[in-house]
Structure 1
Amino acid sequence: MKLIYRLLFFLIPGILSLLRPFSSKLNNFLEGRKFGLSKLRNFRDSYPGKLAWFHVASLGEYEQARPLIASLKSKRPDLGVLVSFFSPSGFDHVVKKPQANVDFITYIPLDRRSWAEKFVEILKPELTFFVKYDLWFHHIQALEKHGKPIFLVSASLREDQSFFGPLGAFFCQNLFAMDWIFTQNKKSIELLREIGYTRSSLAGDTRFDRVAATASAPLSMPQLERWIQGKPTVVVGSAWEEDMKLLIPLINSRPDYRWIIAPHDLSPEPMERWASRIVLDSKRFSMWRASDTNSVLFIDNIGMLSSLYQFAKIAYVGGAFGKGLHNILEPLGFGVPVIFGQVKRASRFPEAEQSQIEGCGFSVSDESSLFEIFGRMEQTDFYNNSVNSAQNWVNSNLGAADRILEKVTSLIPAK
């Protein structure tokens, strides 16, 4: 299997280069990696000190890493921090502006052995953290070769992952290379024990730390506050067409509400299409003023959503009917009950199931069930219980980053 894996990553760069003229996303994926090693070498020449490496797949995993990075920097200010991304969507979003506590942002090279070894050789990390998943065999082997400590944090393992399938013997090498694995749930620890891995502990999901920090200091938006005028407000995060099919009849039935909608796709076409089906007056944020009297506001930019939930009485988070549910913890961090579509693969989004158990998350499958749960939310007792449940659940899960660093420090004391 190792030979096949190496052959695969020997061929993949050439195949991707042939396909890049037909895909702007693929072109971005490859273009971003050009001169990656030379840029990394220039950074290390200018920053030769001790370094912690955090690898994330994309933006969601970076959000999980941020509380840990902040906690690490507060306890180990001598450590620089480098973050690597696999996905251009995450990299492009984060690299646009300075990131607190992060000294360098880069792409991880494709997992060809020579590239991985050169990457680690230049980087020479004191500590390495892989966040949630996205474990690359040759990079991990290179870290082991150099005797560098490796940790997997916020792990949420499932039976259908490659570690537990027919090729598990090969992919499990990535897990067994870890000095310690910090999991989000007990199920992950049980799965690890089934394959004979015991260096693990339940730390929780660092996203709770992140959403609590955002909720404690959201962006100030006085213009939006004036526009809302104390009216009940629904914030729709990461809306897809499948979500809006259910939501538009609800929006049309509630003219006394304010509706703030952040689409997944920021191109004008879907917003224009949705606006044509909404009977209430709507505007896009880029063309809007606080004095406008519209009831519906489409957010046509990136970066506002996590703070918009401060205005919400109820939140709806999209994606469940399509590629996957987006972050429901962001509104819950503000104590806002959240509605979302029926998740197709529940094991991939354990927070969706747990939020329903806790009484602050509500799954809908069609227009009828959406109207039903929204009507219940308009009942004072039901709503207040949902708010209290959200606050209690978030508060009970805080501290994952500190628990992780406490264990890491005990295993790898600072020199």
Structure 2
Amino acid sequence: MRLLYNILFNIGFALSAPWYFLKMYRRGSWQAGFGERFGLYDAKLKQSLTNRQVIWFHAVSVGEVNLCTQLIRAMEPLLPLHKIVVSTTTSTGMGLLRDHLPAHITKVYYPIDRRKHIQRAIGLIDPDVVILVEAEIWPNFLWSLQRRGVPYFLVNARLSERSFRGYRRFGFLFRDLFAGFEGVGAQTEADAERLLQLGCRKEAIHVVGSLKFDAAKLDDTRTLDITSLLGQLGVVPDSVVLVAGSTHDGEERILASMYLRLKPRFPRLFLVLVPRHHERGAAVGAELQALGVRYIFRKDMRPNTRHKSGDLECLLVNTTGELRHFYTRADIVFVGKSLTAQGGQNPIEPAALGKAVIFGPHMENFPDIAPNFVKANAAVQVADEAGLESALTRLLENPAERAALGQRAQTVVRENQGSIGRTVSMIMDVF
């Protein structure tokens, strides 16, 4: 079985490598941690970990990194003698780790799941405990941990029906890996049941809720005065700011066109677009220019940037790690990746700030969270573009309704917090 997996993985990697490296090149990140992706870490890393007990956290990308950061902050004071290593897969995830965690915490890129790369990485880092954030199951990595007797945990575990069917289809490969988890923090009872069916031991599964509710707060180690920043662009205190967060291809054009239709009725309306992938900034900018939207890139702003009110209509944010800060000035938030059948992005962050939240019909990545907000009348879910424009119009016309919607959203967040404490308790049992 393991031999078959490695043969198939190596074939698949060889076939997909050109696409993989082309994608990295287009995103401008091909040089970032290139060797680390093959388990080639700096010799200084080994020296810093010698004679230390090591906890290795892994967070795939931006969303998982935000959760992992909060979990590390909760656990580090409890384990002052341990060395923490945290890995990520993407350059954006690495950027957030470097911004949000102190220098004494080691940050590395996660190696490709080829046996020799994995064995090299694990041999160098030599972890005593491994903590995986969400469903990140790579066979060679977990097999290597099992051979070494290293306990490993899965936190904020969520399994969609589609993922569940995929893992079950290859149960001959994954069952012993799931059985090896020392502890699993499931988000819901449904997730717990699926994990049990996949092979997790019943005594290892704990239903702790979603870490996203606890992680939905600003990082107090980094401050950004959004009111002053937008003021440089002519956004005045009584301007109404619509922030579209983590948008995907096609959504920016829809929102910009909608903005142009709404602007004559609501002249104080200002649009902030934050694409999920900042490297799409140039393409999105071209769309805005074609539509006639007056915009500026976030990266083009300088301390002496000054515009009169009405000069600009849109800020296009082509940076990383700032979305939650822009949410603080929003009057209305559109949650991206939800109009284009992509599964949705996290609605909890703006909800925690008391913002009026709107999302589209495709929130499959949040099958329990999104319906909870809608059921509590704490967010607005729309079926299509027409529904989005109608909802925006209603909220723009009714400031009191915006405020009430935001207050209810904050209540939902508060009622669902506490999962970090429960997760930490589960993990600490191994120490």
TM-score range, shorter chain: 0.7 to 0.9
Structure 1 match to 2:65: 62
Checking the alignment, whether the CA contact within 8 Å between 1:325 and 1:349 is kept in structure 2 is no
Show the counterpart of 2:248: 240
1:189 maps to 2:197: no
| Residues 42, 11 of structure 1: alpha-carbon distance in 2 compared, 3 angstrom cutoff | farther
The more displaced of 30-39 and 313-322 is: 30-39
Deviation string, structure 1 residues 248-290 (Cα, Å, up to 9, x no partner): 34312132212222234443342232244256x4333344534
Provide structure 1 residue ranges, at least 5 long, that are not aligned to the other structure.
none
Q: CA–CA distance in 2 between the matches of 1:216 and 1:63?
A: 13
Asked if 1:277 corresponds to 2:291, the answer is: yes
* Structure 1, 234-243 or 17-26: larger mean CA deviation: 17-26
Q: 1:412 to 1:118 in 2, by over 3 A?
A: same
Partner residue, 2:315: 297
Q: Indicate yes or no: 2:426 matched with 1:407.
A: yes
Q: Percent identity?
A: 21
* Residue 371 (structure 2) aligns with: 353
Structure 2, unaligned runs of 5 or more: none
1:212-231 matched pairs, under 5 angstroms: 212-214=217-219, 219-224=224-229, 226=231, 227-230=234-237, 231=239
Other-structure match for 2:275:
263
**Of the candidates 306, 309, 331, which is equivalent to residue 313 of structure 1?**
331
2:113 to 111, 114, 121: 111
SS of match in other structure, 1:72: helix
Match of 1:339 in 2: 358
Secondary structure at 2:273 match in 1: strand
- One-letter amino acid of the counterpart of residue 34, structure 1: G
Q: CA deviation at 1:82?
A: 0.9
Contact 2:49 2:125 in 1 (8 A): no
1:32 paired residue number: 33
Which of 152, 155, 162 pairs up with 1:153?
155
* Alignment-derived partner of residue 8 in structure 1: 8
CA RMSD of aligned residues (A): 2.9
Is the contact between residue 357 and residue 379 of structure 2 (CA under 8 Å) also seen in structure 1? Answer: yes
TM-score (norm 2): 0.84
More off after superposition, 375-384 vs 174-183: 375-384
Q: How many residues are aligned here?
A: 409
Amino acid at match of 1:140: L
- Larger displacement relative to structure 2 (51-60 or 231-240): 231-240
Structure 1 residues 269 and 120 mapped into 2: Cα distance closer, same or farther (>3 Å)? closer
One-letter amino acid of the structure 2 residue matched with residue 360 of structure 1? A
CA distance 1:2–1:358, shift in 2 (3 Å): farther
User: Match of 2:402?
Assistant: 383
Q: What amino acid is aligned across from residue 224 of structure 1 in structure 2? A: L
Who is 1:167 aligned against?
Answer: 170
Deviation at 1:309, TM superposition (A): 0.7
Displacement of 1:109:
2.0
1:408 Cα deviation (Å)?
Answer: 1.7
Equivalent position SS for 1:258: strand
Task: Give the Å deviation of 1:151.
Answer: 0.6
Does structure 2 retain, via aligned residues, the 8 Å contact 1:20–1:27?
A: no
TM-score (norm 1): 0.87
Q: Is the 8 A contact 2:298 2:317 kept in 1?
A: yes
Aligned mates of 1:188, 1:268 — CA distance in 2: 39
